[in-house]
Amino acid sequence: MSQFNIYIVDDHKMMIDGISALLKNDERFVIIGQNTNPLNALVEIEKKKPHVLITDISMKELSGIELAKRVKAIDNNIKILALSMHDDRQTISDMLEVGISGYVLKNTGMDELTAAITKVANGQMFFSAEVTDTMMKAMSEPKNTNKETVSLTPREIEIVKLISTELSNAQIGEKLFISERTVETHRKNIFRKTNTKSVAGLIKLAMESKWI
């Protein structure tokens, strides 16, 4: 069984203690660090390189958005799960932009939080229902027609849709009857054309462009 190293950052110690208690008896997760100060956390994260960072967003010393940005600069392989009271579209959009893998609200239940951590640790994405609802509402609003549009081929759009369902390159290849290598080439072209750096950023653009 794979084990994942977890680091928790929240300026409320009670929240850290709650998450720690939740994961304490789960053998899949090892909490290798926790901090109420995001600046101090950055120093430890650079040394410890956790698999998953669970972070609050509204913190005095450094926002969760800026923390996520700096952590991704340290190691882009570190998965980030945002834990917040805020479900406004701007905050969600800003966090997606820096490449987070999940976003859950602090009023979520223990089962949902555990599911979110598990999915993110395994390289998938997870968003609370309320967060998804906010994203969908934002995507349904009229867009600025002056904004430069991105043109993808029908095949590329098909692959974007499958990427959004968390399928691997091999699984996408099986569904479309093409090789895994061909899927990888399509993915590279999609990221280049859309000028996105992460799956989260690609999904955000795909929703805005109504590809999914």
| Residue 147 forms part of a structural domain | no
What is the rounded CA–CA span in Å between residue 175 and residue 162?
9
Listed in sequence order, the residues at least 6 apart from 24 whose beta carbon sits closer than 8 Å to its beta carbon are: none
User: What is the number of structural domains in the chain?
Assistant: 2
Instruction: Indicate whether 159 and 135 sit together in one domain.
Output: no
| Residue 144 forms part of a structural domain | no
Per-residue pLDDT tens for 93-133? 888 888 899 999 988 888 899 999 999 999 888 988 888 87
Instruction: Indicate whether 83 and 31 sit together in one domain.
Output: yes
Lowest mean pLDDT among 137-141, 162-166, 187-191: 137-141
What is the rounded CA–CA span in Å between residue 187 and residue 28?
31
Q: What CATH number does residue 71 fall under?
A: 3.40.50.2300
Mean pLDDT of the chain: 88
Range of the domain at 62: 4-139
Yes or no: say if 101 and 79 are a contact pair by the CB < 8 Å rule.
yes
Q: What is the pLDDT of residue 140?
A: 61
Strands 126-127 and 79-84: unpaired
Instruction: Indicate whether 185 and 102 sit together in one domain.
Output: no
Instruction: Indicate whether 125 and 51 sit together in one domain.
Output: yes
Q: Which of 139, 163, 178 is the last residue of a domain?
A: 139
Q: What CATH number does residue 195 fall under?
A: 1.10.10.10
Geometric angle at alpha carbon 156, from 155 and 157, rounded to 5°? 90
pTM exceeding the 0.85 threshold for the entire prediction:
no
| Residue whose entry in the numeric block shows the structure tokens 């229902």 | 129
Q: What is the pLDDT of residue 115?
A: 92
| Residue 166 forms part of a structural domain | yes
Q: What is the three-class DSSP state of 54?
A: strand
Per-residue pLDDT tens for 34-68? 999 999 999 999 999 999 999 999 998 999 999 99
| Residue whose entry in the numeric block shows the structure tokens 């009670």 | 14
The H or E element spanning position 6 is: strand 4-9
